[in-house]
Amino acid sequence: MFQGSMTALITPFKNGAVDEKGFQAFVDWQIKEGTEVVVPCGTTGESATMSHEEHHRVVDLCVEVAKGRVPVIAGAGSNSTKEAISLSQHAQKSGADAVLVVTPYYNKPSQEGMYQHFKAVAESIDIPVFIYNIPGRSVVDMSVATMARLAKLRNIVGVKDCTELSRTPRQRAACGDDFIMLSGDDITALAYMAQSGTGCISVTANVAPRHCAEMHAAWRQGDVKRAQAINARLAPLHDAMFVESSPAPVKFAASLIGKSAPDVRLPIVPATESAQKVVREAMTGAGLLN
């Protein structure tokens, strides 16, 4: 159910507000292009600058379009356990298939603090919970030992992993064969799958959903050379998506193919001219622009 090419969805804005029709059309396009799981209200979706009402609405809109076609993993993270519980409970009520909960940022909790945070979220809902371990944004790094403790809980089913590749086999050994390990880094996604990962929650898939889906399909079919070829073609685009603070580059990329305005919310600012040049060249090189 949770495998392959998964898109960390952007949230299109219009006149400062969520572009609801644009967002639903974007989700529909993603599914038709082969995206296997959609992930609203993550970092790429600018959840950090959404109101609670907007966050709830975006999850509702996503579920409405996707439900019955592909799974929805709703972003529900917060550095406040109470708030993460509230967002997770709303996701369940909305009909999401799972939630993605980031390690608590800013507070710098201990390993025990992280364990208790995720335990409290998991016990508050019945749907699956994915841990989102991204030390570069949250400052804290969940250890393999803590993740293994959490993997024993009934509905903590996997991780979106933004750490180093060398950790992947250690997590598999510690957390067991049923634990779902998803890459959170496009540029190393193929290598991650070679080390027992089962998919990638992707930024690049916002603008190249078919290419990303075809890479994952080729890998699962054992066509390693084709998967490698697609990955190599997309590599400059993977890098371009982070040439400046995300999601400014990917939103500009989406604007080039008519899928979203390039608008972002402060403190993120729109892609500069130099970043736009990098993105445009990468999009052209990937065959997404003439």
Q: How confident is the model at residue 186 (pLDDT cuts 50, 70, 90)?
A: very high
User: In terms of DSSP H, where are the helices of 133-202?
Assistant: 135-138, 144-151, 168-175, 189-194
Q: Give CA separation, 159 vs 16, 66, 210, 255, in Å.
A: 32, 22, 24, 30
Q: Supply the pLDDT for residue 261.
A: 97
pTM of the model: 0.97
Give phi and psi for 86, each to the nearest 5. -60, -45
Average pLDDT score over residue span 97-117: 98
The mean per-residue pLDDT over the stretch 204-223 comes to 98
- Rounded average pLDDT over 138-151: 98
Residue 173 has pLDDT above 90, yes or no: yes
Q: Which residues contact 26 (CB under 8 A, 6 or more apart)?
A: 9, 10, 12, 254, 259, 260
pLDDT interval class at 271 (50, 70, 90): very high
Contact predicate 146/158, CB 8 Å: no
The reported pLDDT for the residue numbered 13 is 98
What pLDDT sits at residue 1?
Answer: 87
pLDDT value for 109: 98
The pLDDT score that the predictor gives to residue 80 is 98
Determine contact, residues 54/18, Cβ cutoff 8 Å: yes
pLDDT digits (tens, 9 = 90+) for 23-56: 999 999 999 999 999 999 999 999 999 999 999 9
Both tokens of 245, joined, read 């603070």
Where are the strands (E) in the chain, listed by range? 4-8, 13-14, 17-18, 37-39, 73-75, 98-102, 129-133, 156-161, 180-183, 199-202
Supply the pLDDT for residue 68. 87
| Residue 290 clears pLDDT 90, i.e. is over it | no
**126 pLDDT band (50/70/90 cuts)?**
very high
Residue 166: φ, ψ to 5°: -65, -20
Residue 61: pLDDT band with limits 50, 70, 90? very high
Q: What is the pLDDT of residue 284?
A: 98
Per-residue pLDDT band at 79 (split at 50, 70, 90): very high
Give the span between the Cα atoms of 244 and 242, in whole angstroms.
5
Catalytic residues: 132, 160
Residue 137 has pLDDT above 90, yes or no: yes
What does the pLDDT read at residue 67? 85
Question: What pLDDT score was predicted for residue 171?
Answer: 97
Q: How many residues does the chain have?
A: 290
The answer to whether 87 and 48 are in contact (CB under 8 A) is no
Domain covering 4-285 in this structure, CATH number = 3.20.20.70
Positive or negative: CA dihedral 158, 128, 92, 2:
positive
Mean pLDDT of the chain: 97
Backbone angles phi, psi at 123, to 5 degrees: -75, -15
Euclidean distance between CA atoms 98 and 40, whole angstroms:
11
CB 238 within 8 A of CB 204: yes
In whole angstroms, how far apart are CA 15 and each of 19, 261, 263, 273? 8, 10, 9, 22
Average pLDDT over residues 158-170: 96
Is residue 149 scored above 90 in pLDDT?
Answer: yes
